Amino acid sequence: MIPARRGWFGALLVAALALALLFLTLPIVAIFVDTGPLDLVSSLGEEGALEALRLSLLCSATAIVIIVLVGTPAAYLLAMRRFRGRAAIVTLVELPLVLPPAVAGIGLLAALGPNGILGGVVKDAGLELVLTTTGVILALTFVAAPFYLRQAQAGFEAVDPTWLDASRTLGASEARTFLRVAIPAAGPGLIAGLALAWGRALGEFGATLMFAGSFRGITQTVPLAIYERFSTDFTGALALSAVLVAVSAALLLSVKLLSGSAWLGGAAR
């Protein structure tokens, strides 16, 4: 820890934090300055707004369930085992983190679109992905999963290995050790990853537009609805943005509170 002392370096740190805080909060403050609570409520009454919010919550929640179900064991394996090519796999899994959303959208089309490399397989399986709600979920899963995987892996790596050994020594199976010891102990990391991934999924725009298109009630999530309003109804776009900020902030806050209790729970075990 850096002692809170005077001096030029201390002043520099404070100035840097102040600048960062100002820069990062100003746009969010501006959204709310122009939007009264009444605007928020009335914007939700507008045609398509509630539909977009419902769709955003539904798709992001579904994506998160998929991500947690598949990502938790995958991250556990990456955290626990040392094997050849592990570093390469970790890098590949994290790659979508740095991909521009438009690249993600193009990539999904090239892979799973009707003309994509697996397009025939998708069609034969009777699935329709592009321009459907399923396509939205797929796009959100793709862009958000790495956020969870990364945090979950770090969370598992931070678990004291002696706890896991103790569990095994006491006769618990690998699966039981994973479920009853590793997951609770890594809880705060998993929940933090879940929050990040969910936030990313809620805000997803580019990959959704490219892969799933924009249609009210089917594929038009809140960010796409904001974009549609931007040109003709800036106030409406601002109000809908404020709604998204509020939902995301509520999500982040509740997860922080939850992870606080999960941490206590984990420590008590």
Partner 1 sequence: MLLVASFTAASACGDDEGAGPERPRLTVSAAASLKQAFTAYGQGFEDASARFSFAGSDELAAQIRQGVEPDVFAAANTKLPDQLFAAGLVEKPTVFAGNRLVLAVPADGAEVASLSDLEQDGVKLAVGSGDVPIGSYTRTVLEKLPAARSRAILENVRTEEPDVAGITGKLTQGAVDAGFLYVTDVRGTGGRLRAIELPAELQPSVAYGVAVVKGSEQPEAARAFIAGLLDGAGAQALGDAGFEPPPGP
Q: Name the residues that contact partner 1, by CB under 8 A.
A: 16-17, 19-20, 23-24, 109, 113-116, 119, 130-131, 209-210, 212-216, 218-220, 227-228, 230-232, 234
Give the C-alpha separation, 63 to 131, whole Å: 17
Smallest separation (angstroms) from partner 1 to the CB of 119: 7
Smallest separation (angstroms) from partner 1 to the CB of 198: 21
**Which tokens in the block code for residue 254?**
């509740």
Smallest separation (angstroms) from partner 1 to the CB of 71: 25
- Which C-beta is closer to partner 1: that of 15 or that of 65? 15
In contact, 238 and 246? CB cutoff 8 Å: no
Smallest separation (angstroms) from partner 1 to the CB of 228: 6
Smallest separation (angstroms) from partner 1 to the CB of 35: 15
Give the C-alpha separation, 264 to 185, whole Å: 10
Give the C-alpha separation, 9 to 90, whole Å: 37
Smallest separation (angstroms) from partner 1 to the CB of 22: 10
- Which C-beta is closer to partner 1: that of 64 or that of 104? 104
Give the C-alpha separation, 211 to 142, whole Å: 11
- Which C-beta is closer to partner 1: that of 89 or that of 99? 99
- Which C-beta is closer to partner 1: that of 48 or that of 73? 48
Q: What is the DSSP string of 67-107?
A: HHHHHHHHHHHHHH---TTHHHHHHHHHHHHHS-HHHHHHH
In contact, 223 and 139? CB cutoff 8 Å: no
Give the C-alpha separation, 249 to 119, whole Å: 38
Give the C-alpha separation, 220 to 1, whole Å: 46
- Which C-beta is closer to partner 1: that of 116 or that of 184? 116
- Which C-beta is closer to partner 1: that of 129 or that of 190? 129
Which residue type, as a one-letter code, is found at position 165? D
Q: Give every CB contact of residue 170 below 8 A, 6+ residues apart in sequence.
A: none
